[in-house]
Amino acid sequence: MSLDSVEHPASGTADGTPRAGANTLVRMTGSGEPEARIHTAEGPRPTPGKGKVLIEVEAAGVSYAEVQMLQHLHPFPPKFPFVPGYDLVGRIVEVGPGVTGWKSGDRVAAMPRQGAWQRFVELPTTTLAAAPDELDAAVAVALITNGVTAYQMLHRSTHLRPGQTVLVHGASGGVGALLTQLAVHHGLRVIGTASPAKHDTVRDLGAEPLDYRTPDIVAAVRALAPQGVQAVFDHIGGRGLDAAWTMLAPAGTLVSFDSSVAGYRPGQWFRPHVPALRRTVARYFARLLGLTGGRRMSMYYVKPGPNFTTDYAELCRLAAAGVLTPRIAGRHRLAGAATAVRALLDGSSVGKHVLLP
Ligand SMILES: NC(=O)c1ccc[n+]([C@@H]2O[C@H](COP(=O)([O-])OP(=O)(O)OC[C@H]3O[C@@H](n4cnc5c(N)ncnc54)[C@H](OP(=O)(O)O)[C@@H]3O)[C@@H](O)[C@H]2O)c1
């Protein structure tokens, strides 16, 4: 297997394997540039406590959340230093006291939101989902946060019928590409926004591309869908939410799943989300009063739980059947974490970056 970045490990043996009883992990030490703030280190290999298991990580996801954490703009900002890593796929290598239903050798997926960027991770069994043996580890990890987010927004936040039209912002991104594939599979017509360089990617996914910098994007969408679209999926937030609302057909849904709008200083982690919160509340009451023509707005945030486990299993089934093909933008060792975060920060890649400890 070829790797996209293979920086020399900061610790462990020559090939990067941790010493016996040791663990290799990545730390984010503060806000700033990835190269200055993301480092590998060695720590003790955990022993699983009651109700927990120790997982040897095969693949851990790199997500936009880590970019936001690095800029101290994430809605749930962690305290530095910490071990990042939203999601992982791996095998149980040790079970703690009181564990039932899981055993050493089981392949699992989890979304701890932090702490996945290590060789060995200790997690409570309540957070685990089964990961099928046949899926490539990088693909299996791309289906966790990105896949479940896409799936639940499409099938739980909205109720769409084949033949309807939707707008997916960032259709070339990790979440957006999976959302587009799922929507096309559901029989929807998809208008997908992306920068012009990525329009071929959007077309390949089965969507009609549109530049998100189009000066009058509402008119451009209306030209493609004169009656409006049945749903808009938006991760940018800010004033764009008003444009998105205007694009909706009667009874349409605006799903806001982040506020990554530019222009905020590191540390202003809550402020980007205020416009989305304010509009969601205002439109909720306007809808109760019958003032929205049946249109509604909701905010989505992925969380573990029974729906997560069920939906992840369905995503794995769709990937095994060839319906979903998550694109892997880069495979890196743990020591290449800063390179992967840099690629997301620069918007220079298409698909999911994964760390393979
Ligand atoms: N709510 C949740 O539970 C949840 C879960 C997962 C992810 N997220 C959020 O979802 C967002 C996308 O995550 P990701 O992993 O898919 O990121 P990603 O792979 O970096 O993709 C970002 C996408 O956004 C596009 N984009 C950039 N500027 C845009 C603009 N002004 N308008 C519309 N699209 C724009 C990019 O297009 P170009 O590359 O062509 O510029 C790219 O397609 C992030 O903000 C992330 O935090 C939320």
Q: pLDDT tens across 283-327, in order?
A: 999 999 999 999 999 999 999 999 999 999 999 999 999 999 999
For ligand 1, what atom is nearest to the CA of residue 146? 6
Compute the distance between CA of residue 152 and CA of residue 179 in angstroms, rounded to an integer.
9
Last residue of a domain, one of 299, 318, 339: 299
Contact assessment for residue 244 and residue 170, using Cβ atoms and an 8 Å cutoff: no
Residue 348 has pLDDT above 60, yes or no: yes
Which residue segment(s) compose the domain that 231 sits in? 158-299
Are the C-beta atoms of residues 213 and 195 closer than 8 Å to each other? yes
> Alpha carbon of 114 to those of 84, 104, 118, 169, 264: distances in Å?
5, 23, 10, 26, 23
In a domain, 9, yes or no: no
Cα 268 → chain centroid: 22
> Which atom of ligand 1 is nearest to 175's Cα?
16
Given ligand 1 and candidates 63, 235, 327, which is best to mutate, with the most ligand atoms within 8 Å of its CB?
A: 235
Mean per-residue pLDDT over the chain, rounded:
93
User: 171 and 228: one domain?
Assistant: yes
Residue 53 has pLDDT above 60, yes or no: yes
The CATH code of the domain that includes 47 is: 3.90.180.10
Residue 1 lies in a domain: no
Indicate yes or no: pTM above 0.75.
yes
- With a pLDDT cut of 90, the percent of the chain lying above it is 86
C-alpha 17 – ligand 1 centre gap (Å): 33
C-alpha 256/C-alpha 21 separation (Å) is 44
pLDDT at residue 41 in the model:
96
The structural domain count of the chain equals 2
What residue's CA is closest to ligand 1, atom 25? Answer: 170
- The arithmetic mean of pLDDT across residues 92-104, rounded, is 97
Q: How confident is the model at residue 8 (pLDDT cuts 50, 70, 90)?
A: very low
CATH code, 249: 3.40.50.720
- Do residue 207 and residue 276 come from a single domain? yes
With a cut of 80, say whether residue 251 has pLDDT above it: yes
280 and 165 part of one domain: yes
Ligand 1 lining (C-beta closer than 6 Å): 63-65, 145-146, 149, 169-170, 172-176, 193-195, 198, 212, 235-236, 257-258, 260, 300-302, 344, 347
The answer as to whether 123 is a domain residue is yes
**Is residue 205 predicted with pLDDT exceeding 70?**
yes
Q: In this predicted structure, what is the pLDDT of residue 20?
A: 76
Give yes or no for residue 1 having a pLDDT over 80.
no
Q: End of a domain among 257, 277, 299? A: 299
pLDDT band at 83 (very low <50, low <70, confident <90, very high): very high
Same domain, yes or no, for 167 and 217? yes
Q: How much is the average pLDDT of 79-103?
A: 97
The predicted model gives 18-24 an average pLDDT of: 83
Give residue 313's pLDDT: 98
Instruction: Tell me what pLDDT residue 4 has.
Output: 64
